[in-house]
Structure 1
Amino acid sequence: MTHADVTTPADADALAARILQPRERPLVLVSTDHDGGYAFDVDRLRAELDGIADVITLATGTASKRLESLVPPKTQVFNGAARSYPPDFGANPNWTRSHLRFPGQAGTDDLIHDAMAQTGRRTVESAPGPGIRRARGIVQGFVADGTRAIVRLDDGTAVTATATLLPPDVPLIAALVVGEPVSGVLEGGELHPEPLVPDLDVFTDGAHTLALVVKVTELRATVQLHPRLPVVLRRRDVGAEDRPVSDLLAVGDVVRVRVHRKPGGEIALSVADADPEAPLVPPLALVAGGAPWLSEDRPRPSDSGTDAEQPASAAHRDRGAEPATRHDVAALAHEVAALRSDLLALTNLVARSNGSNASNSGAESQLRAENERLRAHLAQEKAERAGAEARLAELSEDRRETGRALRDARRAAERAHVDPTPEGIRLEIERTWGIRTAPGERTRWPLREYSLGPGFIDSLAGLDETQLSKAVRACVDAITGRDREIPARELHRLRTGEGGDDAYVVRADGGRCWRSSIEQNAPGARRLHYWELPGGVIELSRVVHHDDTRP
């Protein structure tokens, strides 16, 4: 049984400091159960996250209780559970940024995905393989309270979209737009859209765009250009100097705003001086291949009473697409979301009207009647949706079973024997680079020109599959130059002797010899020696034991 890394209160003190201090990599923490065992595969975590995340084990008991007293609420780990803390967790130690994974409800794959997502990379599941590829389609609607969407792919296949790769503050129902395209990583019957980093440079000083109202009081309103970019508007910003801001804006409104860039690049917004005729800078898309998350033709909730038969829509509805039938699962869920939005808006209007004088009694009665009609409509839609979701649940279970079988097959293929020949190693280097390097990183970390030295293949003899995989990852980091930014590689120039003043090893052709760590904390931990030639070409020299310092 593997002994836990953190077993005493003193160990827990050091671990808490490490969790809350800035780090270069995620920290995956796995706790023991009461018997001292692990529900997650610690060895596999360390193998697949080597050089990407630090994996630490924690003994449940006095050490876990001490850690609980030192970290923010809901961010502790004990009794067999595990979680991954992002590198900047201490700057915003919110438990929603570090999902707790319970034994029996999550697996080792979930922890690997969490850590990879916190580095901005995709997990191995995102790599091309059986049933796993990039795909594109059109959003048909939402189900499961907006936490899943139905997407019809370009080949006509219908799949469900999930928020697996999205951060908690970017909900799926905000990121996807019904009737508009989206792309992502397709795994079995599930599409995983990938989040986009908001690019504020598109909003120049004086530009006009759209913002979503998310909070309103009498004195101010909060709007968003992106779910992660809230901006506070005061009375003067909305033209409400002599009246409450809540008289002009309501939660859920999509409004035109004018952008003002302050010194230093900070953004301020104004509704009051926005030109209704000015061209708009398109709102940001939240996911790769997706449409702008806001639309100017989204109706205000207060306009919903104009048509007795058609309730006002929620965000993103009616972008020119034909509405789906009532019996379509996606349309049912989308309609329920719309009704809930309208019901909340009307309830707020009724509450505000209670303080009005007697001349408003007719309007109040009309609003109350509309409120009751929407309640009845919502109840009917819920009943229809319940049956549809039951059928969807059966289909989802089938997809999950198929997905598990595909993942098992893919893992078996990935762990197949790697042919330690020049052709086999080159193929493995290209495959590993494709898996470990996200599309957005490939221009920064290209697979540069490289060659295999005369003794390289022979130096691989005796390596088992795990050691060979680690060696290939070190080779990829050397070829791309990424080893210079990975502390665990312990990269340094090879010297002619043991002394710190001894000359560096330089070949007659000007090549410089570098030494990079393949393994850590293991007997005879292996190292990679490689030459960096003039012009940037990399020549992989040998894989050696720790004590072997020959080039």
Structure 2
Amino acid sequence: MNTVTADRLPATTVTAAVTVTTVTTAPEILALAESLCTGAAGVPTLVVTAVNRTREVQLDLSRITDEFPDDIRLVVIENPDLTRAFTGAMPPDATPYNGAARIYPAHDLGWMTDPFADDLLFTGITDANADRVTGVVIDRLRVILAAADLHRPAPDADRAAVRPFRGEFSGALSPRSAMVTSSDAPGAFGVLQLDLDALQVSPTVTVDGLFRDGDEVRGTLGADGTVASLDGLREPAAMVAELVVGGCYPAVVTGKAGKSQVGVQVIPGTGSTLTQQGIDRTAATGDVVTVRVQSVSEREGQVRIAVGPVVDGTARLRDAPALRDGGPAWLSGPAGSAGSAGSAGSAESADTAAPSPATSPSAGPDSELAVLRGRVPALRAQIHGLSAEIDRLRDALNTVNDENRYAWDEHDRLDQENALLRDRLTAAGLSLPGGVAGVPAGTAAAGTSGTSGASGRRPRGSRKLRVDRQTVYTECVLKGTEFTAPDDQLAEEIRLSWARNVDAPAKADHPLNYRFGDGFLASVEKTVGAGESARRKLPDVLAWIAAGYEDRTSRHHAFRAGTSGGAPRVVRHTDGAKAFRVDLETSTAAARRLHYWKLPDGSVEFHSVNLHDDYPTM
């Protein structure tokens, strides 16, 4: 997360050197979601999103941070892609987007199951009402802070002093972070977040390699109330003393060292090189392999562990040393390892079998479940990222298809016009000059050898497939002036599009079933120009929807009462019709959007065509 001054944010009046936190990467989004869902921040968090089109923040952030310099956390998300990732990482209906803001209390996580229980979401923020909404946000934050009984400490308080804590390990949030229940924790939750990265523990170590559920955790808290150190961590030299030369141990791969060589760690904080044929191609960073300790020495104050491959399949795999006094083995054996593999029936083999992810004390069901839960936000963000990429590619494909189709229609029109002119010249007994389309140089129009058909047009290989498959498309398109009444004209264009695009066997099951709502034609005339590509595309989109093929339109989705993801969808109470919104254009400024009602009987009522940021009253 980047900490920036408020004067660098759009639409923000600067009155002091106030700082906010701007999220700029997907991992920061996941960390934000994790802290909100666990209450680890200890204070209320105000998340503000920027308007998608302008990337501007409407709320007066400096006014809010002046009011609460220490008691809240203020986070800004400017990138709409990160906003979508945030929505995927959070509980349903619990996130703002497109200029909206939301408060997340830390003392009460009831919003996770009932996102509409309190007045926490603020939408529809504009330049005209930004000051008023900012005041409402400040008032609501005061109420939440009072409910949490959080008071700003005096400047000379001893909160900066490092103090000890004692708690109980409550489970992993991710491979490198965990929760600790402690009465010494600041705030009302009594929960500390343990972060191995902040403690600068070796990156090969996970929380499951340090603690089991219910283990006592001791250490010190820093000035900001976070865990600053842990008691009982062992030095590498003490762990190395437990290694048996000639014994086989699990080791984690730290990277490729050379041809048929990888770096490994038997003990965190040390480094060894494993040489084994082809291992640089079969083992990746983070994989666990089995090695044999060949020697242990100390040189220039550094512990050196020489390791080699395990060539004897019956060798017993020993437990890795513990990183913490009384803790579990810091590393489990590789998947599929079986301790004394050659004596499966012996008692010794059963007692000394290598710990596997399913049986190791450091990877019991509860801790495994916690690790899996910790991966959920990342997987959700990945899903939403892929969905966004699919939507983008689908929009691009639709645009290309539209452009190709319009180009072919224009080609057909010109081709037909050219053929008509040739026929008229031929009927008048005039010869066509060489170089005219469809006529070889030096030949006449009629009866010329080397041409194809009565029209004299040459066959085109790339065009032939289209003519064979879509012969009806060569029909001349409507000029737009066949009818004087706009509704009759558009209805005929819809009928013609339906006749062309819906296969004959499907027409009986997908008839046109629609009507124009009051004001629809006026909105078309106001919003869409007669010569624009959106006007040529409009009948096709209307025909797909009227025939029940909504899935063939671009970004078809429910129309909601507000711009936030948690806003309820619009339903017309008089007849139960549901409102929908469809993209007429994509990747263009002021793109047009179609709005319509879908009635319970399956029929459609077209409501209006509006610009992207104009939301009609439905």
TM-score of the pair, normalised by structure 2: 0.25
TM-score of the pair, normalised by structure 1: 0.28
